[in-house]
Structure 1
Amino acid sequence: MKPPRRTGSAFERAEAAFKSATTKPVEAASRPAPKTIGVPEGKEMVSIRLDRAVLEHFQEDGPGWQDRINAALRTAARLEGE
């Protein structure tokens, strides 16, 4: 019995396999993002050097010290209304 005959050349099969592996899938239509009035923008992780006394001051009230530093910086930068 003869083996099943392959259709197309080896090049065509390789090209088809490459295209199927590298083609981006079609994304579903997305809904527009909801309006975020008054919602603070996302936060970004950064590395900053602070004096030990400054760090201890904000940490002495426990968890949330990073938010307290952020609030103090927003006040100093006059960003409270934004």
Structure 2
Amino acid sequence: MAVKIRLQRFGSNKKPFYRVVASDSKAPRDGKFLEIIGTYDPLIDKVSIDAAKVTKWLDNGAKPTDTVKSLFRKYNVLNK
């Protein structure tokens, strides 16, 4: 099973809110996931991610998507 760290979209029209989750790469975007890692709210530009969970999943072989990778870089998630 290939695991991806990716975003799940929540919220209503024009008011998105995202969860950062670890999920099977074959699962649908808003479908089944393995663990919630954090949240991202682009409207107020706020990120809340548990760095310990991220490092655990990266050590186990999970691959972050390009968008999640840019969020990690922008908010220095792995440097804490």
Normalising by structure 1, report the TM-score: 0.21
Structure with higher Rg: it is 1
Q: Which has the higher helix share?
A: 1
Point out which structure has higher relative CO (alpha carbons under 8 A, 6+ apart): 2
